[in-house]
Amino acid sequence: MAPIAMARPGWPFSSLSFRAFQCWLLRYRRIWRSSVWSSVLGPICYMGALGFGLGTLVDKHSTASLGGVPYLAFVAPALLATGAMNTAVAEASYPVFGSIKWNRIYTGAQASPLRPADIFRGHLMFMAMRLAMNCAVVVLVMWAFGAIRSAWVVLAYPAAVLTGLAFAAPIAAWAVTVTVETSFNYIFRFGVMPLMLFSGTFFPLSQLPAGLRALAYATPLWHGVALCRAFSLGTAGRDPAGMLGHVAYLAVLAAAGIWAGARTYRRRLYV
Amino acid sequence: MLERPETEVLVRARGLTKNFGSFLAVDGIDFDLYRGEAFGFLGPNGAGKSSTMRMIGCVSPPTSGELSILGRDPVRDGSAIRARLGVVPQEDTLDMELTVRENLLVYGRYFGLPRRVIRERTTALLEFVQLADRAQDKVEPLSGGLKRRLTIARSLINEPEILILDEPTTGLDPQARHVVWDRLFRLKQRGVTLILTTHYMDEAEQLCDRLVVMDHGRFAAAGSPRDLIARYCSPEVLELRFDPDLHDAAVDKLKDFSAERTEVLADRILLYVTDGDAALTAVRAGGLEPLTSLVRRGTLEDVFLRLTGRRLED
Percent of chain A surpassing pLDDT 70: 95
In a domain, A8, yes or no: no
Q: What is the reported pLDDT for A9?
A: 46
Q: What is the reported pLDDT for A7?
A: 45
> How many domains are contained in chain A?
1
Dump pLDDT digits (tens) for B158-184.
Answer: 999 999 999 999 889 999 999 999 999
**Which structural domain range is residue A237 located in?**
39-269
Dump pLDDT digits (tens) for A77-119.
Answer: 999 999 999 999 999 999 999 999 999 999 999 999 999 999 9
Pairwise CA distance, residues B139 & B89, whole Å:
17
Contact B292, B241 (CB under 8 A): yes
Q: Is B87 on the interface with A (CB under 8 A)?
A: yes
What is the 3 state secondary structure string of chain A? CCCCCCCCCCCCCCCHHHHHHHHHHHHHHHHHHHHHHHHHHHHHHHHHHHHHHHHHHHHHCCCHHHCCCCHHHHHHHHHHHHHHHHHHHHHHCHHHHHHHHCCCHHHHHHCCCCCHHHHHHHHHHHHHHHHHHHHHHHHHHHHHCCCCCCCCHHHHHHHHHHHHHHHHHHHHHHHCCCCCHHHHHHHHHHHHHHHHHHCCCCCCHHHCCHHHHHHHHHCHHHHHHHHHHHHHHCCHHHCHHHHHHHHHHHHHHHHHHHHHHHHHHHHHHCC
Q: What is the reported pLDDT for B313?
A: 63
Contact A227, A153 (CB under 8 A): no
Question: Which pTM does this prediction carry?
Answer: 0.92
CB contact under 8 Å between B112 and A7, yes or no, is yes
In a domain, A2, yes or no: no
Q: Is the pLDDT of residue A148 over 80?
A: yes
Average pLDDT of every residue of chain B: 92
Average pLDDT of every residue of chain A: 92
Pairwise CA distance, residues B110 & A15, whole Å:
10
pLDDT confidence band for A3 (50 / 70 / 90) = very low
Higher confidence at residue A33 or residue B100? B100
Q: Is B114 on the interface with A (CB under 8 A)?
A: yes
Q: What is the reported pLDDT for A188?
A: 86
In chain B, which residue's Cα lies nearest the Cα of A114?
B79
Q: What is the reported pLDDT for A267?
A: 97
- Which residues in chain A are contacts of B105 at CB distance < 8 A? 26
Q: Is B120 on the interface with A (CB under 8 A)?
A: no
Tens-digit pLDDT string for chain B (314 aa): 445 455 799 999 999 999 999 999 999 999 999 999 999 999 888 899 999 999 999 999 999 999 999 999 999 999 999 999 999 999 999 999 899 999 999 999 999 999 999 999 999 999 999 999 999 999 999 999 999 999 999 999 999 999 999 999 988 999 999 999 999 999 999 999 999 999 888 899 889 999 999 999 999 999 999 999 999 999 999 999 999 998 988 888 888 777 788 899 888 999 999 999 999 999 999 889 999 999 999 988 899 889 988 776 65
In a domain, A25, yes or no: no
Which residues 220-279 of B are in CB contact (within 8 Å) with A? none
In chain B, which residue's Cα lies nearest the Cα of A113?
B79
Q: Is B161 on the interface with A (CB under 8 A)?
A: yes
Q: What is the reported pLDDT for A63?
A: 79
Dump pLDDT digits (tens) for A158-180.
Answer: 999 999 999 999 999 999 999 99
Q: B234-297, superfamily in CATH?
A: UreE, C-terminal domain (3.30.70.790)
CATH 3.40.50.300 in chain B is located at 5-229
Single-letter amino acid code for the residue at B232: Y
What is B5-229's CATH number?
Answer: 3.40.50.300
Q: What is the reported pLDDT for A121?
A: 97
Of B87, B112, B114, the CB nearest to A19: B112
Q: Is the pLDDT of residue A1 over 90?
A: no
In a domain, A19, yes or no: no
